[in-house]
Each structure stands twice: as C-alpha cells, then as structure tokens.
Structure 1
C-alpha cells in the first residue's frame, strides 16, 4: 500500500511539472503561433488592445500600458486601477521594458498590427521575453468585430465577444444609414484640432480621423498620413482658407479659450460658436488613442453633425454602452460631467 501511495505521489508530481498543453493559432497577420491551451494572463502591448481586452476579459489583464486619469477612475473597475503600468510599443505611454513584462508571467503578448507595417520591429522588441506574440488587427473600427470574435475563441469567451462585436456592427450600420445619402456638397466641413494650440491635425486619410469620415463629416485637411503618430502641423492661415464650419477639439482648454483668441475669429466655426470638445472619459471617444469607445463616439459625432438625421438620446445611449462594455452604470450627473 505504501508503495502505491509513493507511486501515485510521483505521478502527480510529474503531471504538475509537465508543460501545459499547447495549440497552434493563426493570428491576424497569418502567423502560426504556438499557444497554451488555457490562457490565464495576458500582456497587451498597446492602448487600443488594452481597452479592448478590458471590455472583453478584464480578469486576464496582467498590466496596463497607460496611467488611468483621475476623472476616469470612478467609471472603471477598481481591479483595473490596481494593475501595474508597464510600457507600450506605440503611442505616448511609458517605453517598453521586456524585463517588466517577463516579471508579470503572462501566457501571451497581444500586439497591435501597426498600420505603418512595423511588425518585424515589434517581434524584435518582444523576442527577448520568449513569450508567444499574437498580432491583432485594429486599424479601422470595422476591424473590431473580427478582432473580438478572434479573441473570444482564443479565450473561450465567445458569447461575450459576440455581444460586443454585434454592438459595434450595429452602431456602424446605424450611422451609415443616417448619413450615406448626404451629397458631398451638403456634408459639414470639419477641422480636427488636436494640440493645445489647435495647430496639429490629421490628414483626411489618417486612421486617427476615421470617426469624422464615418460620421459623415468632411475633414478639410487633405493629405496622406506619413507617420503612425500623425499630428500634422498646419498654419492658421491654411485653416482660415479651408473654411471649416465646425472645429472638433481634442484639447478641452483650447476648446474653451479659442473664442477669446482674436487670431481665430476669422473662422466661421469660431464666429458661430461651433467648437466642440471630444469627450475623454473613461477613455477618449474618438482617438488618442482609438479604442472601442469609437462605437459610441461615431453615434455622438453624427448627432453633433446632423441632429435631424441621427437623433441620439445621449444619456440612455451612453449609459447602455458603459453598462455593456465596462460593467458600470453612470448616473445622469456622471454623464453630464463626461460630456461637458
């Protein structure tokens, strides 16, 4: 009897020490990657993917790659606030530190497919960790449903992923139906002001400015995006010449102060008090960085552009989105604070 007990103990020990069952996954760059069958912890290498994973499977996040803004904290799960902040590949967060990632012991790294094609650079950066790397395509809002369904299968969260994917698809369809019949000459001319001085913007072809196009606006700055970061500098004289009818501002201080600045008073949008600040809580609704918030943001933006074409119950829609994606239900006062 003692011998059988000893043998059983040794067998159990060997099973515990044996490597976890693996599976072969084809990621969204058509790369074959060997993955653990069960994933318990993930490091997301970019802000958009971190927000996506927070919506889909927040319990699997090993860290964030951005600090949480104080006004956003009441709108988020406290568990997210307690995660360590580790660097990212893209964006303006803290620089990547492979040693920090390895110390978190994630099963896999999720990496954003860089629209400028820096896939190999990403692989070189993460190679020292020895962890499997999965690339996820998130360059357009239309990529998000497929990304969610892919991750839903990978993480065995198919039902949750389908709910989120279906919402994003429905939001795009709703907005497209409202604005698709608008002729070009009747579409509102938009200047997208991103910096505190208002003189950094995006090309009309940039993925950063995609929500403007989806919502039926005409971005007045015509050019081709040359860098992942964007933020093209522009002269005020060019903005005046482009005759925007509405200014969409990422910096709330700029949105508040532009009306008192005499150098901007030659612009119709300023004269008519048509300067709109982009909501930023709990994450930016449109960009900097792009995320699942765009599914709500395009509806809000289309309503701002064309209130008669797309009625939008701001409080109801915002509350429903937050409840579905983040598991929180903001009050009317919260929503007023988010918007204003």
Structure 2
C-alpha cells in the first residue's frame, strides 16, 4: 500500500472511531449498576428525574431527601397534609401501592413511567423474599424495582436515608437529614438511660374516634413509646399490617395509663369531659395528647422518617422536666425549615405544640 493509501486508511479509522465514540458514550453514561438491600444488581439511569414508592414509609424518606424527584403520593394528601407542604407537591398524582389494607395496581405505576420504583415497607424486614420481589419486577417490566429495608423502623432510619440519597445523587441532603436524626437518637438514648425502670411513664396509644383501638409494644405503629422511655400498657395482640387492635374501655381502666397519646384530635379534645373515662389517671391529670400531624404525623401512619421530630416531641411529652419546651421548639423549627422547606412562625409553632394541636 502506498503512503497515500495508508493515510487514507488511517483517516477512515479515525473517522469511524469518532462516529462510534458518541454512541458508546451515550450507552455508558445512560445507566449504571447498583446493588439494592436484597443484594440484587440493577441497572438504573445515571440521570434520575422521577421516582415513586410502593408504600408510604419509603415515600416519606423520598419526600425528605429528594422532594423534587417524587412523582406521586401513595394516597391523596389531606387538607392537613397540605398545610405545611409547598404548593408544587400538593397536586402530585396518586399511585396507590401495597401497604396496610391497600393493594396496588401495576398499570398505574407503569403509566407514570418513573425512572425507579422503590420497594420498602415494614419493620419485619419486608421486602425479604427475593423471589417475590423478582416476580413484582417482572410485572413492572423495564422499570427498576429497588428494594430498601428498615423504612419503618425508628431506630434504623440511617440506612435507608443513606441508601436513597446515594441512589438519587442527593447525598448532601441525606447527610444533613441523617445528622439531625442521629442527634435526636443520641438525645433520646442518653436521657432515657437516666430513668429507672420503676419511674418510666405508663402510656396508652388511643387510636380511632373513640380511642378504643391500639398497638402494643413491638408494633411498628407504637415504637416511639418504647424508644422514648415509655411503658406501653396495652396487653393485647399485634394486628399485622395496618394494626389498630380493638380493645375495651374496661381494659384501659385496668392498664391505668399515666399518659394517653391519641391519633384522633377530636377524641383528645372530648375525652377530658367524657364521664366514662374519668377514672383513668391520664384523663384525671389532663395528660391526653393528640399527635401533631401536619404535614405528616410525628408518631405514626405512616411509620417512617416523618417520625423523626416525634423523637423530641415524645421525649418532651413523657418527661418535660428532662427535655424542655424551649429545646423542643428549637429542634422542630430546624426540622421544618431544613427538610419540609417551611419556616414556621412563632404562632404556627405554638399551635403544633398544644396538647391538641391547632393549625394555621
């Protein structure tokens, strides 16, 4: 081959490389491989713009770590949810999911065309069966189903916060949330360690409009009581999933709670004047507290990272002499501003911290 021929061939090879390289670069940059919490290797997009979750506990972490990427809620936000929620998140679609008494619809998820679907639910370790998850993955088609554990375990939120932040490229916000969370855990643990078992407050978690449903110690729905040094007085069985085991007023009388935590604010408002409840110590001393619930509950339903400010609230509610109102106000304000992107006024904060919260 002549020198001229060699030059032409060389130019042709270079041109081919230049033409192929962009295509190759696109292929390389469009996806990368991660390992989820069940050890499954998944190819996910490098650039993620839309995510959903199959259940509320994981959705709570998505909202706190990467709200701008959240494509849908699992249920329609209530007026209470929307009180401290920026407007752009109030009208997201509702996708449903698999949680409590709700059974999801695959097509609803697929039609949203998210980049990723997160699967993570309860304290018991779900999802734990790889075969079940893989079956669900088949139903979702090409949309990666990424499992994440401990999204409803108040003592282990650091893992899912870190993992979700890493997957979504939101490490800075995830690290900030984890720092707040770990400080709250440390404060609670150090305080509770100073309380003799005999001096721990007896607590009843009253659920429903009449207060006659509950979740005993060990339930994912009542973990904050145990963790913050209370004694859950309910001697009853755990109802799997949604919880809310029915009980009788006679049982509550026998349990003699010092404090009642109420999921229903109407019940908390009316029970002090209800003659049927007057012999219960918590009612006599007016220590019946409704759970702050805007934009999401500090205590339960869902059990998720929305509970993090509830660590401070529960500690103060049970042991106000050990964790003061001023300390609580500071930490609640910090959480709302940093992670709900809401600056509370003094009046709004006062309302949240009332025995029965009042909202703007």
Fold shared by both chains (TM-score > 0.5): yes
Output aligned runs, 1:235-274, within 5 Å.
235-274=248-287
* Alignment partners' CA distance in 1, 2:330 and 2:264: 26
CA distance in 2, matches of 1:103, 1:336: 43
Pairing 1:323–2:337 present: yes
Decide whether aligned partners of structure 1 residues 173 and 239 sit closer, same or farther in structure 2, where only a CA change above 3 A counts. same
Match of residue 3 from structure 1: none
Go from structure 1 to structure 2 and tell me whether the alpha carbon gap of 1:260 and 1:153 turns closer, same or farther (over 3 Å shift). same
Preserved CA contact (<8 Å) 1:71 1:281? yes
Describe the shift of the 1:118–1:104 C-alpha distance in structure 2 as closer, same or farther (beyond 3 A). Answer: same
Quote the residue 1:59 is aligned against.
Answer: 68
Match of 2:31 in 1: 22
Q: In structure 1, how many angstroms separate the alpha carbons of the residues matched to 2:153 and 2:320?
A: 25
Instruction: Tell me, in whole angstroms, the C-alpha distance in 1 between the residues paired with 2:269 and 2:242.
Output: 25
CA distance in 1: counterparts of 2:339 and 2:218, whole angstroms? 28
Name the structure 2 match of 1:4.
none
Residue 307 (structure 1) aligned to one of 301, 312, 320: 320
Corresponding residue of 1:84: 93
**CA pair 185-45 structure 1, distance change in 2 beyond 3 A:** same
SS at match of 1:263: helix
Change (3 A) 1:84 1:271: same
Preserved contact between residue 175 and residue 215 of structure 1 (Cα < 8 Å):
yes
Deviation at 1:208, TM superposition (A): 1.1
Counterpart in 1 of 2:157?
144
Is 2:142 aligned against 1:133?
Answer: no
Is the counterpart of residue 98 in structure 1 residue 116 in structure 2? no
3-state SS, counterpart of residue 141 of structure 1: coil
Deviation at 1:222, TM superposition (A): 3.4
| TM score, norm. by length of structure 1 | 0.90
Partner in structure 1 of residue 8 of structure 2: none
Gaps of 5+ in 2: 1-15
Structure 1 residues not aligned, in runs of 5+: 1-6
How many angstroms apart in 2 are the aligned matches of 1:302 and 1:238?
Answer: 26
What's the Cα RMSD here? 2.6
Residue number among 103, 116, 122 corresponding to 1:114 in the alignment: 122
TM-score when normalising by structure 2: 0.85
Answer whether contact 1:299 1:312 (CA < 8 A) is retained: no
Distance verdict in 2 for CA 1:152–1:14, change over 3 Å: same
Q: 1:171 to 1:305 in 2, by over 3 A?
A: same
Q: Deviation digits for residues 225-273 of structure 1, max 9, x if unmatched?
A: 3412111111211111111111110001111111222221221111221
| Pair 303,162 (structure 1): closer, same or farther in 2 beyond 3 Å | same
2:197 corresponds to: 184
Residue of structure 2 equivalent to 1:338 = 352
Query: Is the alpha carbon distance of 1:315 and 1:115 closer, same or farther for their aligned partners in structure 2, counting shifts above 3 Å?
Result: closer
Q: Secondary structure at the match of 2:305?
A: coil
After superposition, the Cα gap between the structure-2 partners of 1:39 and 1:8, relative to the gap in structure 1 and judged at 3 Å, is same
Residues 174-205 of structure 1: per-residue CA shift (max 9 Å, x gap): 11111212111100100100111111101111
Q: How many angstroms does 1:113 deviate by? A: 4.0
Equivalent in the alignment of 1:71: 80
Q: Is the 8 A contact 2:30 2:46 kept in 1?
A: yes
3-state SS in 1 of match to 2:221: helix
- Cα distance in 2 for partners of 1:113, 1:25 equals 20
2:42 alignment counterpart: 33
Q: Answer yes or no: is the 8 Å Cα contact 2:152–2:305 preserved in 1.
A: no
Q: Which has the larger radius of gyration?
A: 2
CA 1:74–1:252: 2 relative to 1, 3 Å: closer
Q: For 1:164 and 1:14, locate their aligned partners in 2 and report how far apart those are by CA, in whole Å.
A: 39
Matches within 5 A, 1:135-284: 135-137=147-149, 138-223=151-236, 225-284=238-297
